[in-house]
Structure 1
Amino acid sequence: LCFLCLLLSLQMKVDGKNLLSACKLAFKICKNENNDYIVQNDRLLDCLLEVLRNEDLQKNNEAIFYCMGAIKFMSGNAVFLNEMVDKGAVEMLLQLMKQINNIRESDTYFSSLGHLLVQLTATLRNLADLAPARCQLVCSGAVSELCVALEQRVDDKDVCTYIVRILSKLSSYNDFCAALADCSRCYILFLALLNKHQKQQDLVVRIIFILGNLTAKNNQAREQFFKEKESVNTLTSLFQTYYEVDLNAQTWHHDRAGKGENHLKHPSEAEDVLIKLIRVLANLSIHPSVGAALAAEHHVVELLVTVLEYKSIDDCEELVINTATTINNLSYYQVESSAVQDKKLHIAEVLLKLLMSNNMDGVLEAVRVFGNLSQDHEICDFIMQKKIYQFMIALLDSKNQDVCFSACGVLLNLTADKNKRAFLMEEGVIGKLVDCLQDFGPADWQLACLVCKTLWNCSENITSVASHLGGDTDTLLVLLTSLLDEKLVLDCSLDRDVRGCHKLHWEREFRPVAEKLLERIQSHHSFIPAVPVTPF
């Protein structure tokens, strides 16, 4: 009976106190999940949307608040979400948000409308789960209105949380992420929120997640964020704060573990922030000038190294791998002021634990860092002293292209030093390189090129092929001859674009090095075997 009275009141378009009473009743009915079977009525949603569409915001803001609250409760039911989208709820809510955003802070209604904005943004967050709603949010310019609301309500944690939840959800989609990246003031807003709500983990982790998505593929976004005032200091401050929280928690958990209580394997809240924050640093460091500047940030590098010192990959795999990836990105920049270069030996020492772990993803990241650092003779000496070179040679047997490529990069740098080649030759590096070339040749011309460059170093000052290459000579000759056959790179089974890229790598990278290597070997080898070439 109450429900019928409610419908009748709304359909009669009552106003004033009667409208307020009707909206309060709708709010009360929709709030109770036991009433879902009653609420599943087209007419109620239509009536509530009609109130939002037609009523004056300033005159009936309390009634609109309860009306919006009722719609928010309905949006928690998946049955209603599609209906809301079909009935134009997304555009209607954005129009209402625009009206709220136009109310000045000095206005009497400004504060009370914050409560309405909480209901509105909570509803939009539920709608954002639907693809058609996401499309409408992009097309309707939601980014601009959400940023305005965020800017005006920076002190309202509830409003900020819901808006950030919406942006967090939508930033996972390329079209919306591009639209958000184009909103230049979003970076200033996010930094302001991070500084204001630094201890609010639920808010911080989502903002950092958004920044990670914005900087994942967009070089302009990387540069723009980095250039914002205090951007690096804000990230560093957050890093320090949550590192300390995590370190204290880890000490507590270790104490508990000593008493027989197990630590949960999934990331803690502090670890989650660190994972996403370090991802942002990794993304930023891809940009050449930003990466070079970050490599010179001693506090950032110190914190990254500290994470690898106190955190095992068994404690939190994603955190450790993200950290190693970031150090790898920063180690690429061979600049005078590089903090990575200053700490290179300490970093190499810390990476040994990761290098010797049973986690192949972790091993790969550690090898990549050594690939960059081994351009320095001190690191090469460290690798020889600690016998890491033996491990690098063994990794060529991994049958993993990425691992082989990175390990080969380290070996290339080591073989550039004639005094170190003998040790590598004794460990059978030639045979492993030839096997690697045989395994991956036509499938990865960049790896094949790297193998040939390493073999070129190994064969420098060659006087006798037999003494240098031993029993691998004939296999290598056959391999190089076959891999230099252009028919191999015109594999018709490949997609045209892939085939074009494949051929480009073969022509520009592999062929020049392989031809020189083949010529060198042939000039010191009197007999070229007539071995039939097996197609790859």
Structure 2
Amino acid sequence: MLSSNDQKLEKLDPCHRPSMPKQKTSAEIISEARNALRSVRTQRPFTPREDQRKLFGPASSRTAESRPPSSFSLHASSFELPDSRPISGTRLSPLELKPRAPVCHTTEEDACLFFPRPPLDPAKIRRISGARARFYRAASQGTLLSDRSLAAAHSETMEESSEIVTMGNSAAKTNRTYLAASNTVGHLKTYPLQLTYDQGFREIKEREVKEPSPPSHLQNGGSEAAHMRHHGANLTPGHDSERVCRDQGKRRARASSCPSSSDMGRLETRAASRASLQERETEIEVDGVFWETRIEPILQELETEEDIESMCAACTKLHHTLEDGRMLRKKFKGRSILLKTLYKLVDADSDSLSLKLAKLILALKVSRKNLLNVCKLVFKISRSEDNDVLMQKDNILESLLEVLRDEDLQSNTEAFLYCMGALKFLSGSPGFLPEMINKGAVETLMKLIKQMNENIKKHGACLPNSGNLLVQTTATLRNLADSPLTRSKLLNIGAFPQLCTVMEQCMDDRDVCTNIARIFSKLTSYRDCCVALASDSRCYALFLNLLNKYQKKQDLVLRIVFILGNLTAKDNQAREVFSRERGSIETLLTLFQNFYQLDQHSPRLGLSGARSPAEAEDVLVKLTRVLANIAIHPRIGPVLAANPRVVGLLLTTLESKSLSDCEELVINTTAAINNLSFYQVKSSILQHKKLYVAELLLKLLVSDNMDGILEAVRVFGNLSQDRDICNFLMQKNVHKFMIALLEARHQDICFSACGVLLNLTVDKDKRAILKEGGGIKKLVDCLREFGPGDWQLACLVCKALWNFSENITNAAACFGDEDTNRLLVLLSSFLDEELALDGSFDQDLKSYHRLHWETEFKPVAQQLLKRIQSHHTSPEPLAVPSF
């Protein structure tokens, strides 16, 4: 059952009407070119290949001052050795001269003047456990003692440490030591700690020495002492402390100059944080025998060897050895020595060796500036295409992807930039595409894009570092988009909304928007990707905003218009949604006018010139395609046909461009005029200018371009429903040209020519034209040749013959004996359902053929066969023709 729109259109043109509003089969998609309203195809914009490998190409909108450099020098001194090892607890050796207190003191100052203890010997720190080490470190950074008791307390503590370390060397011994903490009244509480087998301490049991409770006015002081005791502060009681407790007034007077309990809490919190960080970053011990027998010989070889190939082999051997020893990690003893040796080799200035070093250094999980430098090193190597084979052989790709997956984006943005730059260069090499996709590069890039989207949303703007990284990331994804595997992965992970979000948030960054537009222009050449993108309703407004913002940027405008042409080529809903966006048609017309003027003033060079065809012309091609596609919609088409600006721009283009110079533009313009000419409404501008349009189309008919001829004939198929156009065609002998086209053996051309001849035979005065030039015979030949595979064409032939034979009295006199007999045989055979539909087609094609055979060909053919049989007197039997 036809919809109301289709019924209206069928009344306007019984031969050229849109397909029925149902889900299209594969056969119907293939045959869409047959419809009077047709979507227009065009070539995807060419993506230029950069001659030089740089972070930002010559077409970048970034100035040289605002973008990171692509060329730089790297040396061993560029790497920072301290950054390659964990923050160590090792401190400077103790000073020989211990600090002394000032000579003169008052009695009040004695209890508040404290000096830090000198740091302990690093060797002793390493021999004791983490918990005990923290205790010593805290003690070395300042125990709160008076000047008078400082020397004695320090002496006692060092003796205790010496005793504990001595006991720790024997795993069989277990001793107890008590850490005493002093409160403000001189009372002691002891906490027993047990030295365990691993030389660490653990608390056994809290035991309090029963003492009289302090006076109520001294309770705060006791709480302060207990707080310090809980964190392991070593307060040795002395006579000065007792004197302070007895003299409360003096203590209050000194409170302003002595550390308060809150200050002490902050100091102890910092000490605990440092200790916790140091404990987490403690170097992991390695087997000394393994290091001495396996690692050190290779390091010595690297330091003494001068042959590059031998050094490369040694690096490979070192990598395997470290992997066997499970030493490819962030923290292990000897790592700083190892990295120091590797950094020195960077000065060898060999790409093959530098690549080996980079892979090994990345495997050792360096961070901060060293990570940046090694990423720069890989980027520098990847800038030469000659190194692509080398990089593929050494499998550096996996190391680069691990950086993106494992490292923190916020603290390593610049390192990510150069890492992604190297990946961009590799993705431009066809040999890397399958490997990158198989290793999860698409998923990694989209995860990174999602993370950057969240960061940009958090900050409310696209920061320069994020923008630079997005340029590299989207350029890499653009290269990967050439593979069908990438397309399926992007569809599976729902990448299109994320890419739209990037364009929306970084609209001011033309480089990012251009890269994403290139991605979409590749992907939307496929129907499933068009559906995925169109499902994001904001995409149309987003594209229109970009077109308005970058009206003079040809590369970006060209790709966005191409994307819109892809979206509106197959989906009627997309045509409607786009046309409903505010200012959509106005934006297209403004762009059309601007680029038409630009094309008129741009030079057109010949074969020896550097510019052919014009870039502005390519934009016009894509714009006319969008107009032609949205004109298919039954609501939008009449509105466009009545728009003087739309019709005026199309006709101006057809006037000024020749088919030989601007083939695709002229053909697309003619296709757009064809779709608009379909709507036979009073407000149509084309109906008022139909004779002028017919004059313009004549130059296409006399060309030797079959595509141009086909488009012109299609327009005449719509216009020839008007009597004035029919008279014009007869005056210009166009009908003879249409009869000649029946011999073209081109299915679509025969179909369109039959449509024009059918409209001419509606007028009784013009029916005799079919006999001129053997028109009847050529129509019967078309029926015989194309009938079984094209029931729409067979229907047009039967309709033309029906009009021609309206007042028939004798079939032989009308068609001729030979053609009459041929028609009787052909029509009888084609009306036999088994013979007509017995073709080797798939199920979709069978359904398609049956649909058009039953609804279009069969009703007309039956009536024509009855008319010929009723006026045919030949008694001779008819022979069945062979096909």
TM above 0.5, one fold?
yes
The answer for unaligned runs of 5 or more in structure 1 is none
**Residues 1:509 and 2:856 are matched in the alignment:** yes
Q: Identify the residue that residue 204 of structure 1 maps to in structure 2.
A: 557
Verify: 1:498 aligned to 2:845, yes or no. yes
Structure 2 CA distance for partners of 1:308 and 1:529, relative to 1, 3 Å: farther
Query: Are residues 76 and 396 of structure 1, via their aligned partners in 2, closer, same or farther at CA, if it must alter by over 3 Å?
Result: closer
User: Distance in 2 between the 1:167 and 1:307 partners?
Assistant: 28
Residues 829, 836 of structure 2: 8 Å contact kept: no
SS at match of 2:411: coil
Q: Which residue of 2 aligns with 1:51?
A: 403
CA RMSD of aligned residues (A): 2.5
Q: Which amino acid counterpart does residue 240 of structure 1 have in structure 2?
A: Q
Q: CA deviation at 1:82?
A: 3.0
Aligned to 1:481, which of 799, 816, 828? 828
Cα deviation for residue 42 of structure 1 reads 4.9
- Please tell me whether the aligned partners of residues 58 and 109 of structure 1 are also in contact (alpha carbons under 8 angstroms): no
The counterpart of 1:91, out of the listed 434, 443, 450, is 443
8 Å CA contact 2:825, 2:881 repeated in 1: no
2:586 to 221, 229, 233: 233
1:160 and 2:513 are equivalent in the alignment = yes
Contact 1:266-1:316 at 8 Å conserved across structures: no
1:295 is aligned to 2:608:
no
Distance in 2, Cα, partners of 1:37 & 1:489: 59
> Aligned pair 1:409/2:409, yes or no?
no
Amino acid at match of 2:584: S
SS in 2 for 1:60: helix
Asked if 1:110 corresponds to 2:456, the answer is: no
Distance 1:512 1:147, change over 3 A: same
Give the AA of the match of 2:595. Answer: Y
Give 1:151's aligned residue: 504
Match of 2:871 in 1: 524
- Cα–Cα, structure 1 residues 520 and 382, in superposed 2: closer, same or farther, change >3 Å? same
- Contact (CA 8 Å) 2:621, 2:668: kept in 1 or not? yes
What aligned pairs does 1:59-458 form with structure 2 within 5 A after superposition? 59-104=411-456, 106=459, 110-249=463-602, 252-253=603-604, 267-426=613-772, 428-458=774-804
Q: Deviations over 1:119-156 (max 9, x none)?
A: 11111112222332332222122111111111111111
What is the CA deviation profile of residues 62-112 of structure 1, one whole-angstrom value per residue up to 9, with x for unaligned ones?
A: 222222223323333344333332332221211111121112475687222
Secondary structure of residue in 2 paired with 1:396: helix
Q: Deviations over 1:189-220 (max 9, x none)?
A: 11111121122222122112212222222222
Residues 172-181 or 162-171, more deviating: 172-181
Larger deviation: 153-162 or 30-39? 30-39
Q: Measured at CA, do residues 40 and 421 of structure 1 come closer, stay the same or move farther in structure 2, by a change above 3 Å?
A: closer
CA distance in 2, matches of 1:526, 1:92: 80
Distance 1:364 1:285 in 2: 19
Deviation at 1:417, TM superposition (A): 1.1
Is this contact kept in 1: 2:462–2:505, CA < 8 A? no
Q: Structure 1 residues 499, 68: closer, same or farther in 2, change over 3 A?
A: closer
The answer to which of 147-156 and 308-317 deviates more is: 308-317
* Contact 1:265 1:316 (8 Å CA) reproduced: no
- Between 185-194 and 525-534, report the one with greater CA deviation: 525-534
Letter in 2 for 1:195: N
Worse overlay, 328-337 or 114-123: 328-337
- Paired with 1:485 and 1:34, the residues of 2 have a C-alpha distance of 68
Cα shift readout 1:295-343 (whole Å, capped 9, x = no counterpart)? 2222122222222222221113222222212211221122222222222
Residue 160 to residue 532, structure 1, CA distance change in 2 (3 Å): same
- Equivalent position amino acid for 1:314 in 2: S
TM-score by length of structure 1 reads 0.91
Distance 1:527 1:11, change over 3 A: closer
Query: How many corresponding residue pairs?
Result: 529
1:449, 1:509 within 8 Å by CA — same for their partners in 2?
Answer: yes
Aligned CA distance change for structure 1 residues 104 and 494 (closer, same or farther; 3 Å): closer
Which protein shows a greater Rg?
Answer: 2
> How far, CA to CA, are the matches of 2:831 and 2:389 in structure 1?
72
In the TM superposition, residue 41 of structure 1 has moved relative to its aligned partner by 5.5
Deviation at 1:266, TM superposition (A): 5.7
Q: Distance in 1 between matches of 2:362 and 2:642?
A: 65
- The structure whose residues are more often helix, as a share, is 1
Cα distance in 2 for residues equivalent to 1:499 and 1:47: 54
Unaligned runs of 5+ in 2: 1-344, 347-353
Q: Give 1:13's aligned residue.
A: 365
Where 2:736 maps in the other structure, the secondary structure is: helix
Q: Quick check: 1:396–1:436 contact (8 Å CA) kept in 2?
A: yes
AA partner of residue 574 (structure 2)? A
- Per-residue CA deviations over 1:325-364 (Å, capped at 9, x if unaligned) read 2211221122222222222111111000001211222111
1:436-487 Cα deviation digits (max 9, x unpaired): 3233333322212211111111122334445433444344334333433344
Kept after mapping to 1: 8 A contact 2:461/2:505:
no
User: Letter of the aligned partner of 2:782 in structure 1?
Assistant: C
Distance change in 2, residues 1:262/1:393 (3 Å): farther
Q: Provide the TM-score with structure 2 as the length reference.
A: 0.57
Moved more, 445-454 or 491-500: 491-500
Deviations 1:217-238 (CA, angstroms, capped at 9, x unpaired):
2222121112111111111112
Q: Partners in 1 of 2:656 and 2:601 — Cα distance?
A: 11
Give the distance between the partners of 2:837 and 2:683, measured in 1 at CA: 46
Against the structure 1 CA distance between its residues 38 and 458, is the aligned structure 2 distance closer, same or farther, given a 3 Å change threshold? closer
Change (3 A) 1:102 1:453: same
CA distance in 2, matches of 1:373, 1:334: 9
Give the Å deviation of 1:186: 1.1
Q: Distance in 2 between matches of 1:141 and 1:417?
A: 58
Q: Distance in 1 between matches of 2:864 and 2:428?
A: 67
